[in-house]
Amino acid sequence: MTRGRTSRWARGARAWWVALVLAAVAAGAVLVLPGVLTEALYDNRPSGVACGDLPERSRVEAALEAHAGLVGRIEAVGDQVDVAVVAPCDSDPDQAEIRVFYPGGDDRARITQILDDEDFGVPVSLVNV
């Protein structure tokens, strides 16, 4: 072999490693990008509670009823702000969370401030619509 030239095997091995690194980067992007898009681009704030850890729907509905004043303060933030009980996981429709739907970042900031003062006692997600 001449000095400065790489063998066919070395070029093949290098190409294999490059493909492996690119595949790992792509897999990482698939795992990370949805969360980044959800939080940064769409301005959503998921509850972060895994499907299996969500409370039963009846408990979430009771929390919503028990905190009617809190619901009123949140919905008073804007005409398009809505508070609802949703089952986010297809795997178990009996598990739920509270979702607050709002039209923009300013509304989210006011809603977050309200929820910092008082909470429902169950998971809450904020969704920009």
Q: 79 is written with which tokens? A: 């005409």
Q: Facing residues of 83 across strands?
A: 100
Mean pLDDT rounded to a whole number for the chain:
85
Q: What is the pLDDT of residue 64?
A: 97
Highest mean pLDDT out of 28-32, 85-89, 104-108: 85-89
- Pick from 122, 97, 124: nearest CA to 112: 124
Q: 39 is written with which tokens? A: 């939080």
19-63: pLDDT as tens digits: 778 777 766 665 655 555 555 566 889 999 999 999 999 999 999
- CB of 123 within 8 A of CB of 54? yes
pTM: 0.70
